[in-house]
Structure formats: structure tokens, C-alpha cells
């Protein structure tokens, strides 16, 4: 049998004893081991006889000489009984016990050379008599008190709430803190799902880390978040598990040192430093750091520093000082003026043309905003799919003077040919199919050529248009248009051929202008159906309406002042415009000179920051210098429709002939008012718009308000990134028998 090695037992002393059973077990084990040794010795007799008979006493006691001489006999005889160690007192194997006192001396241990320490004697503690002045605190330091006393609790959802200190000065950023957390919280994101305690606890741990990061973002680096998870934490909640976070912001840290690198070595360094409005002693706020970093970057880019570099901010927090040292290395790299604009595709958009588009001249101080503006203007041409502008140093700064930086333009051409078409049907217009083909750069740069056509129930047209954009200056457009058309509706019928030329600077979706204008020339030949006979009497419905040819030349002009804040969805400001067109008309051997004028004004005012927008519009028109019969029907005033008086058909308001068809007039008045009321639908993208419109058209040259038509209704606006989609349902308040009882309008943009 295998025999495991065992530690040699210490000799029994006065303070140690073994029970008889333990001793017998030890002897039995030793006997088994010795028997095993004897077997080994017997099998290796040659080695056994070589045993040194002068071995030490311990080996002699384990393997005596007789075991070497006759190992088999020795193993068969067993182990001779051990002599008990002589000790003072009764035999320990007699079943008696030895009563040892604590003061009994310990026997000397073999090999122990370290002396036992002397008994340690402690001095007596001095007793202090109670003089009656001792008091006990009522607070138990081992008992946890309330986390927040009468806290301000914000219930985020039915399962989530935040508790803040009741003192507003302890954490004045509560509103912004809650709004930021609402965007990031995982519990908030999964509010509508069934959540067990495990899921809620996992999300609560994520939210706790978010709250800690937000506290640090606002400068509270010693703050603490205490998370509670369980039922009935939120007043009025159901039995689902809930989470409450107790926000203990602690002391807010302030800025210590602020290192902005080489900023103080730049020209106009004081102006640049004022753009970074953080100073030692201000409260630490990560949002302020990012905001001021953006302001400094903007100031560098718009004060000539074309190649300025700025490292990311680093904040070193010192809890002992409750301060943070900010390091944000700035390298201004010198000041520059604009040089040339260089196109990489001169045959497509030449450098000279791009310099015309740019809002800067060579020698002007470099401004990054003007560089970005040039990029937007190139994209607005519609001729390129991508644009890159690279500032390249032409001359370095020297002797305190700015250097020169050229703008290298990289262009990627877009698809230049466009085929477009539309098919529609209206209860008043019937069917209408329109199509066009256009090449937007057939005559570089920006010379577009377009062919268009219309086939419909009431209208047929064919025309060609040449348009030169950015002609002579930025955002100025030259347009030449020749067309032939046939139009037959309830207001008039006309077969027309014309040529129109205009030069204009108008607002676009990308560039809304405070002042827009246009001048033009119109040459028109039109054969039109008459509502009046030659003697100015109304045509009798029993006789076929006569036709008459008009030759008209006009010089239309237009101007508008626009202070509104948006082209398609204004919320504040006003617009005032005036159209005037001196015209000469030749018909039946008679020439007439008259002046067409129309003034429009609109005003917009929002109530509160996010309240409804009140909008109003007034339009007044007049044609002076000629009787109504001398003015071609297509040149007269009409009212009614989605952009005029809603609730009535297109051009349906005004005097009519015996058949009930509108004939137009020489005077016009339109008044509109509406309230654009926001709703919470689709995150505030839907507006409800009640409105009322009124209008009148008269045969006299000035309005007489003898026949005013009123319409009212309600509309819906869906606000998109490119403008509101409009749906209006309107009803005529005082309709004529021929007017419909309801009208529906759909379009892009507000009504006015």
C-alpha cells in the first residue's frame, strides 16, 4: 500500500497529550509503513545488506539492524511496543486526564532560540467623574438619513423619476439637465414596453452612468447619483417596478488656468480672445467650452486666419482646489487676404465667371463665411454635383502685412439635360399634360435652353426659353422667352403669340433677399374673345361673342422689400411690393395708353416663442388711362382661388357677362387674415390654420367695394425641411348661384 509522507510529530511535553486511540492509530500507520519498507528491502536484498549499520538514531529506530539481517522475519514479527516517554504525572495512556492550569509552564521546544516576551502590563485607565455637562447627540451616525430633504421630483415616465435639491441655487441647470437626459435615457426610450425588474435594473445602471456624465458636463465633478429600484417609488404609479434617481450635485467646479497656446501672438489677438468668453473663475461647463470653441473658430475664420488650427479642449480636474485647468492649443498661422478664384474646369464654369459669383474682391480680408457662400452659390447653379474649395497660399504674410490666399475650385459636373412632365386634372381646368426638355449649360457659362409644351382641355402652348443665370452679377438672371398659346376658360379666350424679356434679381430658396427687383419688355399679339361689344355694352348671350386682336407692348417693373424670416414659412416681419407696367395697346385702328399698378403688403407676428403666427395680407390694384373695352381681357384684374380669395373658383370673382362668365376689371382689392396654430402632432410639424378672405373686382379704375365676396375655412400645414405643405378647405360666405359650395386647395408654401 502506498505510504504518504507525514510530518514528524513533536515530542509530547507537559502542555501536550495524545489520546490512546490516536497513539494506536499512529503506531498502526507506522507498522503498515514499516511492512511496506520491509517488502521493498526483501526484494532488493543486495541493497539492504549494504545498509550502513552506523546510521543515525532516527534511521536506526525506523529500520533496526535485524530488519537488515532478516527483513522477512522482522516484518512478520510486527513492531515492538514503544516505551512511553517519561513525563511527570500519571500515565497518559491510562485513560486519565491531566488538568493543566493557564499558568502551567511550557516545555522547552527543540530548536527554538527566540525568548518568550515578558507579560505585557497595561496601565490603569483614568476614570473621569461625570460632572453633568456631557450631552449625547440626537443623531445616530450609523443610521442613514434622508438623501434629499423635501426634494423637487420630476416624473419622466410612469417608471422613471429624478429628484433634485429643493434649493434652486443648488442646481440651477435642472431644466437643461432634464432635457438632455430625456434624449439619452434608455428607460425613457423603452417607456412603452413591458419591463421586468431585471431589464429595468440593467437600464437603470446605464442611465446612472449617463447622469454622472451629465453632472460632470455641467461642472459637478464631486456629485453623486443614488439609484433606487422598486415598486411604489413614483406617486400615482402602477405596480410595475420603478426607478428613482436622487441627484446630489455637490459643489460646482470653476476654471483655474486657461491655456490657449499661441493665440496671444496673433494680430488682433484681443478681438480673438474676446470671442472665447471663458475666463478663470467662471463655472466649468462642457457645453460652454464647445460653444466658445466654435465662436473662437468662427472669429479666426472670419478675420483672415485661413489656415488656423485648434486642438481639442483638455480639462484637468483638481478635486482639492475644486477647479479645472483648461488647455486648448490654438495656432493662428498668420493673416491673409483673398487672391484669385481658380476653376479646374474653365470651359465649363470659367474662373472669371466664378469671380462674378463670389461676394468678395481680390485684396479683401479672407473670411470663411464668404468662402462657404461661394460654395453654396456654385451648388445653386444646378450644374455641379459636388464642389470643393481649397485655400492655397499665394504669398505668405510679411512685415506685418497679411499674405494672399487663392481659392482653388474643384467641380464635378452634374447631369445637365432634364426631361420633365406632368399630368393633371381639375374640375375647372379639365385635363392638362405638360412636358419640357432643358439643357442647363448649353451656352456656357450657365446659359440654359428649354423647350416646353402644354396640351389640355383649356390650354395649348409651345415655347422656347433662353436663361442666363448670374449674368453680369451674382443672382441676376436674363430671360428671353418666345411662345404661342391658346387659352379658353370662363374668364376669357385668347390665341396669343408673344416675346418676353426680363432682367431680374429675385429671392430663391437658398438666398432670400431683403430687396428684389425686375425690369422687362413684353411684346404680345393676342386674338381674344370679347365680353364687351365695340360700344362698351355687355355682349348678349344670345349672340356669339365677337373676337378682337390686340397688339400690346409693355415695360413691366417690380420691386419688393422683404424683412420676413423665411421665404416659404414666415413667422415675423413684413413684405411690401409694387408692380407697375406702362402699356400701349393697338386694336381696331385705335391705340390706348394705360398704366397697370398693383401693391401688396403682408405682415407676420408670432405670439410667444412657440405660439401661433398671426398673418395678414392686403392687395390693391388699378388700371388707369383707358376704358375697360380697350384693355385686352388677358391684361385685366381677376380674383378668386388659392392665392387670392379662397372659397371661390380661379378668377371667379368680379363682374360677369350675360352668360355668367367673369369679364375682369380695372380695380382690385383683396384682404386675407389667418392664424397658424401649432399642434403637438408629429412632434409639432402640423399646424391648424383658420382663415378668412375677402375680395372685390370692379370695372372702374379705382375700387368701389360695391361687390365684396367673402370666403372662410380651415387649413392644415405639414412643416417639412423645404417648406410647408398646404391643404385648405374653404367655403364661400356670400356665394352667387354659379359658385360651388366648397373649394379645396393643395400647394407648397403658405397662402401668402
Q: What is the largest CA-CA distance in the chain?
A: 166
Highest mean pLDDT range out of 48-57, 85-94, 155-164, 374-383? 374-383
> What number of residues does the chain have?
752
DSSP letter for 569, please. S
Q: What whole-number percentage of the chain has pLDDT above 70?
A: 76
pLDDT for the residue 685: 92
Number of H helices, E strands in the chain: 12, 28
Residue 304 · residue 365 · CB < 8 Å: yes
Distance CA 577, CA 518 (A): 12
646 and 711 in contact (C-beta within 8 Å)?
yes
- CA dist 405 and 396 (Å) reads 8
Phi, psi of 702 (to 5 degrees): -120, 145
Nearest to 165, CA basis, from 178, 155, 151: 151
Residue of higher predicted confidence among 31 and 211: 211
Looking at residue 106, the DSSP 8-state letter turns out to be P
pLDDT score of 451: 97
Q: Poorest-confidence range of 402-411, 415-424, 666-675?
A: 415-424
Contact (Cβ atoms closer than 8 angstroms) between residue 164 and residue 174: yes
Angle value at C-alpha 366, between 363 and 367, nearest 5 degrees: 140
Of the candidate ranges 236-245, 442-451, 559-568, the one whose mean pLDDT is the lowest:
236-245
Measured CA to CA, the distance from residue 555 to residue 707 in angstroms comes to 31
Cα–Cα distance measured from residue 698 to residue 628, given in angstroms and rounded to the nearest whole number: 10
- Do the Cβ atoms of 337 and 394 come closer than 8 Å? no
CA distances from 3 to 6, 35, 81 (A): 9, 10, 21
Q: Is the dihedral of CA 302, 305, 306, 310 positive or negative?
A: negative
Mean pLDDT (whole number) for 642-655: 90
pLDDT band for position 352 (cuts 50, 70, 90): very high
Write out the three cell numbers for 622. 388699378
CA angle 477, 479, 482 (to 5 degrees): 170
Torsion of CA 645, 649, 650, 652, to 10 degrees: -90
Taking residues 58-79, report their average pLDDT. 60
d(CA 461, CA 485): 4
Provide the b/e sequence for 425-449 (b: ≥16 CB within 10 Å): eeeeeeebebebebebbeeebbbbe
Triad 222, 224, 226: Cα angle to 5°: 175
What average pLDDT is seen over the chain? Answer: 82
Average pLDDT over residues 172-178: 92
Confidence of residue 650 (pLDDT cuts 50, 70, 90): confident
| 452-483 per-position pLDDT tens digit | 999 999 899 999 999 999 999 999 999 999 99
pLDDT of residue 148: 72
CB of 445 closer than 8 Å to CB of 348: yes
Question: Average pLDDT of 79-97?
Answer: 49
- The grid coordinates of residue 599 equal 401693391
Q: Is residue 650 left, alpha or beta, with left meaning phi > 0 and alpha meaning psi from -120 to 50?
A: beta
For residue 270, pLDDT beyond 70: yes
Q: Per-residue pLDDT for 420 more than 90? A: yes
Q: Which residue has the higher pLDDT, 249 or 36?
A: 249
Residue 61 has a pLDDT of 57
Determine the Cα–Cα distance for residues 667 and 654; give it in Å rounded to an integer.
10
C-alpha distances in Å from residue 170, one per residue of 86, 151, 178, 220, 247: 83, 11, 15, 11, 11
Q: For 556-565, what is each residue's pLDDT tens digit?
A: 999 999 999 9
pLDDT value, residue 155: 87
Cα separation, 333 vs 308, in Å, equals: 5
Answer yes or no: is pLDDT of 55 > 90: no
Per-range mean pLDDT, top range of 45-49, 97-101, 555-559: 555-559
| C-alpha cell read off for 194 | 413591458
CA distance 606 to 572: 6
Question: How confident is the model at residue 413, as a pLDDT?
Answer: 94
DSSP string, 664-711: -BSEEEEEEEEEEEE-STTTTTEEEEEEEEEEEEESSSS---SS-EEE
Residue 137 has pLDDT above 70, yes or no: no
Average pLDDT over residues 524-553: 69
Half-sphere exposure for 287 (CA within 13 Å, toward CB): 9
pLDDT at 47 over 50: no
pLDDT band at 695 (very low <50, low <70, confident <90, very high): very high
Average pLDDT of the segment spanning 692-711: 92
Residues 6+ apart with CB under 8 A from 502: 477, 478, 479, 518, 519, 520, 521, 556
Q: What is the pLDDT at residue 543?
A: 57
The pairing of beta strand 254-261 with beta strand 323-331: parallel
Comparing C-alpha atoms, which of 468, 261, 287 is closest to residue 381? 468
* Number of neighbouring beta carbons within 10 Å of residue 720: 12
8-state DSSP, 283: B
Q: What is the pLDDT of residues 363-415, one digit of tens each?
A: 999 999 999 999 999 999 999 999 999 999 999 999 889 999 999 999 999 99
Instruction: Place 656 in a pLDDT band, splitting at 50, 70 and 90.
Output: confident
**pTM to 2 decimal places:** 0.66
pLDDT greater than 70 at residue 228? yes
| Segment 316-330 mean pLDDT | 96
The pLDDT value recorded for residue 185 is 87
Residue 373 half-sphere exposure toward CB, CA atoms < 13 A: 15
CA–CA distance, 393 with 335 (Å, rounded to integer): 11
Residue 115: count of CB within 10 angstroms of its CB: 6
Which residue has better confidence, 4 or 135? Answer: 135
Q: What number is the average pLDDT over the span 634-640?
A: 92
561 contact partners, CB below 8 Å, separation of at least 6: 514, 515, 575, 576, 577
From 169-183, 490-504, 646-660, the region with the lowest mean pLDDT = 646-660
DSSP annotation string for 300-343: HHTTT-TT-EEPPPEEEEETTTTEEEEEEEEE----EEEEEEEE
The helix (H) or strand (E) run that includes residue 57 is: helix 57-62
Helix, strand or coil, per DSSP, at residue 28? helix
Mean pLDDT of 572-594: 94
Amino acid at each position: 500500500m502506498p505510504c504518504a509522507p507525514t510530518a514528524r510529530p513533536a515530542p509530547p511535553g507537559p502542555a501536550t497529550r495524545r489520546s490512546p486511540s490516536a497513539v494506536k492509530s499512529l503506531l498502526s500507520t507506522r507498522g503498515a509503513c514499516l511492512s511496506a519498507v520491509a517488502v521493498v528491502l526483501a526484494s532488493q536484498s543486495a541493497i539492504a545488506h549494504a545498509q550502513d549499520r552506523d546510521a543515525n538514531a532516527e534511521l536506526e529506530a525506523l529500520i533496526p539492524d535485524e530488519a537488515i539481517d532478516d527483513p522477512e522475519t522482522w516484518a512478520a514479527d510486527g513492531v515492538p511496543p514503544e516505551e512511553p516517554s517519561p513525563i511527570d504525572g500519571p500515565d497518559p495512556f491510562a485513560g486519565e486526564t491531566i488538568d493543566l492550569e493557564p499558568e502551567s509552564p511550557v516545555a522547552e521546544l527543540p530548536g527554538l532560540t527566540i525568548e518568550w516576551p515578558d507579560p505585557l502590563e497595561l496601565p490603569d485607565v483614568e476614570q473621569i467623574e461625570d460632572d453633568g455637562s456631557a450631552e449625547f447627540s440626537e443623531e445616530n451616525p450609523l443610521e442613514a438619513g434622508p438623501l434629499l430633504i423635501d426634494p423637487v421630483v420630476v416624473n419622466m415616465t410612469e417608471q422613471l423619476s429624478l429628484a433634485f435639491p429643493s434649493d434652486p441655487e443648488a442646481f440651477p441647470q435642472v431644466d437643461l439637465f432634464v432635457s438632455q437626459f430625456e434624449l439619452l435615457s434608455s428607460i425613457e426610450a423603452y417607456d412603452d414596453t413591458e419591463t421586468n425588474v431585471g431589464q429595468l435594473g440593467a437600464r437603470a445602471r446605464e442611465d446612472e452612468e449617463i447622469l454622472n456624465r451629465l453632472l460632470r458636463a455641467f461642472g459637478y465633478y464631486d456629485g453623486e447619483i443614488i439609484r433606487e429600484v422598486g415598486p411604489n417609488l413614483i406617486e400615482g404609479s402602477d405596480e410595475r417596478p420603478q426607478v428613482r434617481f436622487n441627484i446630489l450635485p455637490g459643489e460646482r467646479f470653476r476654471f483655474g488656468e486657461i491655456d490657449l497656446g499661441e493665440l496671444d501672438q496673433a494680430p488682433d489677438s484681443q478681438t480673438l480672445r474676446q470671442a472665447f468668453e471663458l475666463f478663470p473663475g467662471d463655472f466649468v461647463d462642457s457645453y460652454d467650452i464647445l460653444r466658445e470653441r466654435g465662436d473662437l473658430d468662427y472669429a479666426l475664420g472670419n478675420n483672415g486666419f485661413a489656415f488656423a488650427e485648434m486642438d481639442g479642449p483638455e480639462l484637468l480636474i483638481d478635486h482639492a482646489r475644486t477647479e479645472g485647468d483648461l488647455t486648448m492649443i490654438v495656432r493662428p498661422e498668420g493673416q491673409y487676404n483673398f487672391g484669385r478664384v481658380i476653376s479646374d474646369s474653365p470651359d465649363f464654369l470659367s474662373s472669371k465667371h466664378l469671380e462674378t459669383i463670389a461676394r468678395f474682391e481680390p485684396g479683401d480680408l479672407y473670411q470663411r463665411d464668404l468662402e462657404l457662400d461661394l460654395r453654396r452659390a456654385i451648388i445653386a447653379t444646378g450644374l455641379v454635383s459636388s464642389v470643393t474649395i481649397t485655400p492655397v497660399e499665394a504669398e505668405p504674410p510679411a512685415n506685418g502685412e497679411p499674405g494672399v490666399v487663392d481659392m482653388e475650385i474643384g467641380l464635378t459636373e452634374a447631369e445637365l439635360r432634364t426631361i420633365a412632365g406632368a399630368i393633371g386634372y381639375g374640375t375647372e381646368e379639365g385635363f392638362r399634360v405638360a412636358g419640357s426638355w432643358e439643357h442647363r449649360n448649353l451656352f456656357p457659362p450657365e446659359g440654359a435652353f428649354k423647350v416646353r409644351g402644354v396640351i389640355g382641355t383649356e390650354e395649348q402652348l409651345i415655347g422656347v426659353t433662353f436663361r442666363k443665370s448670374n449674368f453680369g452679377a451674382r443672382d441676376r438672371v436674363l430671360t428671353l422667352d418666345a411662345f404661342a398659346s391658346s387659352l379658353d376658360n370662363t374668364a376669357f379666350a385668347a390665341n396669343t403669340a408673344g416675346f418676353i424679356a426680363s432682367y431680374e434679381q429675385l429671392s430663391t430658396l437658398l438666398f432670400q433677399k431683403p430687396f428684389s427687383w425686375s425690369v422687362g419688355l413684353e411684346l404680345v399679339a393676342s386674338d381674344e374673345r370679347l365680353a364687351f361689344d365695340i360700344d362698351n355694352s355687355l355682349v348678349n348671350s344670345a349672340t356669339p361673342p365677337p373676337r378682337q386682336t390686340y397688339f400690346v407692348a409693355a415695360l413691366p417693373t417690380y420691386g419688393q422689400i422683404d424683412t420676413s424670416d423665411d421665404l416659404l414659412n414666415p413667422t415675423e416681419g413684413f413684405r411690401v411690393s409694387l408692380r407697375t407696367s406702362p402699356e400701349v395697346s393697338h386694336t381696331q385702328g385705335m391705340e390706348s395708353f394705360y398704366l397697370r399698378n398693383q401693391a401688396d403688403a403682408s405682415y407676420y407676428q408670432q405670439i410667444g416663442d412657440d405660439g401661433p403666427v398671426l398673418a395678414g395680407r392686403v392687395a390693391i390694384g388699378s388700371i388707369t388711362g383707358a376704358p375697360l373695352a380697350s384693355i385686352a381681357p388677358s391684361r385685366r384684374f381677376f380674383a378668386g382661388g388659392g392665392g387670392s380669395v379662397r372659397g371661390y373658383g380661379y378668377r371667379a370673382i368680379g363682374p360677369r357677362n350675360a352668360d355668367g362668365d367673369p369679364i375682369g376689371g380695372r380695380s382690385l382689392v383683396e384682404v386675407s387674415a389667418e392664424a397658424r396654430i401649432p399642434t403637438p402632432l408629429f412632434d409639432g410639424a402640423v399646424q391648424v390654420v383658420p382663415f378668412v378672405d375677402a375680395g372685390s373686382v370692379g370695372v372702374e379704375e379705382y375700387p368701389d367695394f360695391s361687390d365684396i365676396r367673402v370666403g372662410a375655412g380651415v387649413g392644415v400645414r405639414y412643416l417639412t425641411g423645404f417648406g410647408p405643405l398646404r391643404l385648405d378647405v374653404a367655403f364661400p360666405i356670400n356665394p352667387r348661384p354659379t359658385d360651388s359650395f366648397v373649394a379645396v386647395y393643395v400647394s407648397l408654401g403658405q397662402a401668402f
